[in-house]
């Protein structure tokens, strides 16, 4: 599974239809393909790295938190223990998995329970076969058909579970808001748990 694009409404202070797109669609040199891009399907490239650049209070942290939320949903099928409200957040995620482009849409609600977790409402999953000849229209509505989900899940678990079937190793995001020693402890625990070289 690879996240291709996310669009959000009502997420923190993001503008409506806020979008982050990972797909490289411009002309690619051999050098781009070797160093800057990752090919996830025939002629479907995503960027190896992205930079979030802006002045103070311009929304850099919000953009990273949006991506963190998306990877939590795609990796864990849940969204919990975050420092922001989920209420009335509308999400659209396009991702690639096993020859298909999937489009997942949902409206999030805050849970009434103690502890912050998101409730998934109005979920909709569509998919279409990926063809390299259609790369320029990769997000076009044409060709998508609804994925029929058979089964029920707890309201705080996304229907993406029925597509991906198992949890995935996902990006790990640490903020730097006063956690101090805890942040370093978590970083070193992550290095150990995922066998990440300390050379980084």
Distance CA 172, CA 140 (A): 31
What integer pLDDT is reported at residue 52 of this predicted model? 86
What integer pLDDT is reported at residue 182 of this predicted model? 67
CA 185 to chain centre: 25
What integer pLDDT is reported at residue 200 of this predicted model? 61
All structural domains of the chain with their residue ranges:
2-163, 169-200
Distance CA 182, CA 174 (A): 10
Is CATH 3.40.50 the classification given to domain 2-163?
yes
Phi and psi at residue 108, to the nearest 5°: -90, 150
pLDDT less than 50: residues of the chain:
none
Tell me the CA end-to-end span of the chain in Å, nearest whole number.
25
Full-model pTM: 0.81
């Amino acid at each position: 599974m690879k996240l291709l694009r996310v669009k959000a409404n009502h997420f923190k202070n993001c503008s409506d239809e806020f979008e982050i797109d990972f797909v490289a669609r411009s002309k690619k040199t051999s050098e781009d393909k070797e160093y800057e891009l990752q090919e996830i399907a025939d002629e479907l490239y995503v960027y190896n790295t992205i930079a979030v650049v802006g002045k103070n209070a311009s929304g850099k942290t919000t953009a990273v938190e949006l991506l963190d939320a998306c990877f939590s949903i795609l990796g864990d099928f849940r969204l919990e223990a975050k420092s922001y409200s989920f209420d009335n957040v509308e999400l659209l995620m396009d991702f690639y998995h096993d020859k298909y482009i999937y489009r997942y849409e949902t409206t999030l609600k805050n849970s009434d329970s103690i502890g912050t977790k998101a409730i998934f409402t109005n979920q909709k999953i569509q998919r279409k076969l990926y063809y390299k000849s259609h790369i320029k229209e990769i997000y076009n509505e044409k060709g998508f058909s609804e994925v029929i989900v058979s089964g029920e899940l707890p309201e705080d678990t996304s229907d993406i579970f029925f597509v991906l079937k198992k949890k995935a190793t996902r990006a790990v995001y640490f903020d730097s808001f006063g956690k101090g020693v805890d942040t370093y402890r978590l970083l070193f625990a992550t290095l150990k748990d995922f066998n990440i070289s300390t050379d980084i």
